[in-house]
Homo-oligomer: A and B are copies of this chain.
């Protein structure tokens, strides 16, 4: 995929590059093209940009001074975290007119407050490190996703990242109490509050959460911590259809409420793919079924206290015909194997053929209708298309990623991206869904957003962008075009 945004900005002036380097010192920047290259590329989908300078400030004060220099010189800035995004929000455009500010050296954990159940971290701290530190204090930081060993919390916040525990704990937005942000003019907004309630005006942090770096550089955040569950029960449940999966969800939620923490749907093709392509996978149940749910319950009770309620709930689901077969993990090893089926989806789908990814959401009650309609429309337009789909059903979020018919060669299917997006997103919009549930807009979906979002909403977004970044210097051309 190429950079779709044509920009005509000038190169960054030499004297500005000099001033920026002076602020951060020798260890705080990269200007060797070979060292810069990885910062300009995304790990997936081939977003490639260009910049003369990657800045790696070590403090909020340095970020502020960098942004002030850029603001006065009119040089656009691309904030970047762990560079694991999926929509090109963290890559510069191709013309070399922008500088990257990487948060990777903003790595301090400033505070852990176990009575307030909060941790205050700088934006460059890697997600897994936050999980680990929380765990040391017998707490849970519930954000969990595939890139957790690399992604940085500032990027998670800017994307409003989702993951596999949203059903119970909410998206990143729900985990943030306060932010510290360097604004597009270089001033620091200290909104680093550790409060669960604060009704003193517009909740400004919400604009930066999911703002994809277009309104400022997040430098620190106060995150919520939760009691660490001491019991986990994991099950794989076979169901005949997405509708049955949604019924199962309602059934389990009624019985187990907040104990239900994960509810992930996978199509049979997802199971076949891992069995075929990744050694060590076997069929988890004796018979094949069209759909599977990977589910988990967690709790604080004595070990085993969730087992019986789960067994009862699943037994009644089998009796009522909502579920067709069940396996409950009997050991940590069996749990790990069940999870591996889900976790390997990110890798395996690339290997069975060219796919076109959709990160859509709909009301949970319309999941079945969405999948039926999208399957039928695509099968009619592309006979032999393979209906790859998995996702976070509890959140109404499906990664609906159709794969080329087995006999299509080369990039023929990739060239159908436009019409396929259109088919899928037309149905999503008809069902009042979202064309980006958890990955954001970035560059990837900016044209789709212009098609599908209400005009009045795009106008409000532009009005806010202009109000807070009047010179359009903060990650321009991401999320929206002015």
> Which residues of A line the B interface, CB within 8 A?
113-118, 138, 159-160, 162, 166, 170-171, 173-174, 183, 187-204, 206-207, 209-211, 215, 226-227, 229, 246-247, 249-250, 253-259, 299-301, 309, 361-366, 392, 394-397, 432-441, 445, 449, 452-454, 456-458, 460-461, 463-468, 479-480
- Ordered by A's residue number, 5 sampled pairs between the chains whose C-beta atoms are within 8 Å are A115-B365, A191-B454, A198-B436, A202-B464, A203-B210
> Contact between A194 and B456 (Cβ–Cβ < 8 Å)?
no
Residues of chain B within 8 A of A246, CB atoms compared: 115
Residues of chain B within 8 A of A437, CB atoms compared: 195, 197-199
Residues of chain B within 8 A of A227, CB atoms compared: 253-254, 257
> Contact between A195 and B363 (Cβ–Cβ < 8 Å)?
yes
> Contact between A159 and B199 (Cβ–Cβ < 8 Å)?
yes
> Contact between A204 and B460 (Cβ–Cβ < 8 Å)?
yes
- The distance in angstroms between the C-alpha atoms of A460 and B469, with both chains bound, is 11
- The distance in angstroms between the C-alpha atoms of A15 and B214, with both chains bound, is 45
Residue ID in chain B nearest A173 by CB atoms: B203
Checking B115, B364, B432, B441 against A200 with a beta-carbon cut-off of 8 angstroms, the contacting residue is B441
Q: A210-B199, A254-B138, A397-B196 are in contact. Are A456 and B189 (CB under 8 A)?
A: yes
CB-based closest 4 A-B pairs: A206-B206, A115-B365, A467-B467, A197-B437
Q: A203-B173, A441-B199 are in contact. Are A300 and B254 (CB under 8 A)?
A: yes
Q: A199-B440, A300-B255 are in contact. Are A117 and B207 (CB under 8 A)?
A: no
Residues of chain B within 8 A of A465, CB atoms compared: 202
- The distance in angstroms between the C-alpha atoms of A465 and B204, with both chains bound, is 12
Q: Which of A183, A187, A188, A456 neighbours the largest number of chain B CB atoms within 10 Å of its CB?
A: A456
Residues of chain B within 8 A of A461, CB atoms compared: 201-202, 204
> Contact between A396 and B197 (Cβ–Cβ < 8 Å)?
yes
Q: A190-B454, A203-B173, A203-B210 are in contact. Are A197 and B361 (CB under 8 A)?
A: yes
Residue ID in chain B nearest A301 by CB atoms: B309
> Contact between A195 and B361 (Cβ–Cβ < 8 Å)?
yes
Extra contacts, 6 of them, besides A183-B460, A195-B433, A201-B457 (Cβ < 8 A), are: A160-B203, A195-B434, A199-B434, A226-B257, A227-B257, A464-B467
- The distance in angstroms between the C-alpha atoms of A366 and B195, with both chains bound, is 11
Residues of chain B within 8 A of A249, CB atoms compared: 115
Checking B160, B162, B187, B199 against A439 with a beta-carbon cut-off of 8 angstroms, the contacting residue is B199
> Contact between A435 and B200 (Cβ–Cβ < 8 Å)?
yes
Least CB distance, A446 to chain B, in whole angstroms:
10
> Contact between B397 and A197 (Cβ–Cβ < 8 Å)?
yes
- The distance in angstroms between the C-alpha atoms of A410 and B439, with both chains bound, is 61
Residues of chain B within 8 A of A188, CB atoms compared: 456
Residues of chain B within 8 A of A432, CB atoms compared: 192-195
> Contact between B460 and A200 (Cβ–Cβ < 8 Å)?
no
> Contact between A396 and B254 (Cβ–Cβ < 8 Å)?
no
